[in-house]
Amino acid sequence: MGIDITVFKGSYTGRIVKGSSHKDDVTRDDVLVKVTHSGVCGTDCHYTRADMVLGHEGVGIVQAVGPDVSVLKVGDRVGWGYNHSGCGHCLQCRTGWIGNCEEAHSFGKTELDQGSFGSHAVWKEEALFHIPEGMASADAAPLMCAGITVFAPLILNNVKPLDCVGVIGIGGLGHLAIQMAAKMGCEVVAFSGTEAKRDEAMALGASHFYATKGVKEIKVHRQIDHLLVTTSKHPDWEMYLKIMAHHGSIYPLTVSTEPLSIPYLPFLLNNISFVGTTGGPLYLYRQMLDFAAFHKIKPVIQEFPMTVDGITDALDKLETGEMRYRGVLLAD
């Protein structure tokens, strides 16, 4: 039996193609989810030339559960992100870091026949999270990747309300980072290339704004304790190291193949930390969703139909920088 599902895949030509896949009846701790919404992430652009189903910011309704599912039930509204499951026994899995498991199942690596760009998907219960009441599914979808990406470094590195948090880039990640840091009670400093996004950044919760294009030195009112880098290209590290507080931390949050090259002495003498971060442990997704729901943190979204044309349009806007700020696909 099972179910035939519709999927949208990358291809060797880079064009989005519509296809189909088959999922057997759920067993063990499997959960069948009917997709209603999917975020569109920059990582999806990296796989448009791969023969795989795209999408890893999914939200939908539980349609069937395996016999070992203990919490979720049919009709529940759930979301999922980049990581799907681990071995369940190693230290990383036991502490919730399934993405760091040597046997991790994740987007672009395993289960290439399904994703959030499709009608349905089957995932392990541990990788699915209840969407809070009152949170719209279209708002929840981008949080499953973009939300956890900016929330995790703030929580895991003990950012305090007394801290000054800088955010470089006001886009898909940056506009969420500003909101989350502000709601944590931090003084938030936004950095963007031009003045174009000043008013929006301040409305999102920034306390200060600096335009940096063509600037060699920034004169900030206060040094930065934590700096979230959300731009696709590396910033001028020398310029930003000058405004970091002693023992400050820098968090590069986007995928880049460029070597990391920084001025050594300012980094060393000021005890600066560069912290790699890719999402967070499973429990943090629950906390992130609850935090966003309580504080009414919402992504700024553009909606597209979940069709070949809709997905193509969304990915084109994302790659050309026209997206404001997260794309969301709506299933039929």
Strand partners, 259: none
pLDDT, residue 139, reads 98
Residues 47 and 309: their CA atoms lie apart, in Å, by 17
Residues 138 and 159: their CA atoms lie apart, in Å, by 28
pLDDT, residue 322, reads 95
For each successive 10 residues of the chain (332 residues), what is the average pLDDT?
95 98 96 98 96 98 98 98 96 95 96 98 97 98 98 96 98 98 98 97 98 95 97 94 98 89 94 92 97 98 98 97 96 88
Residue 288 CB contacts under 8 Å (≥ 6 apart), including other chains: 143, 147, 148, 151, 152, 280
State the CB neighbour count (10 A cutoff) for residue 4.
Answer: 10
Residues 306 and 37: their CA atoms lie apart, in Å, by 8
Handedness of CA 286, 288, 293, 294 (dihedral sign): positive
Find out whether the peptide bond into 325 is cis, omega within 30 degrees of 0.
yes
Instruction: Report CA-CA distances (Å) from 75 to 67, 78, 139.
Output: 16, 9, 19
pLDDT, residue 256, reads 83
Residue 321 CB contacts under 8 Å (≥ 6 apart), including other chains: 171
- Element (DSSP H or E) covering residue 328: strand 326-330
**Cα 310–chain centre separation:** 21
pLDDT, residue 257, reads 83
Handedness of CA 93, 143, 62, 23 (dihedral sign): negative
Q: How many helices (H) and strands (E) does the chain have?
A: 10, 17
DSSP state of 26: P
Residues 16 and 54: their CA atoms lie apart, in Å, by 9
Take residue 1 and report the two structure tokens written for it: 């039996």
Residues 29 and 162: their CA atoms lie apart, in Å, by 43
SS3 25: coil
Residues 315 and 311: their CA atoms lie apart, in Å, by 6
pLDDT, residue 231, reads 94
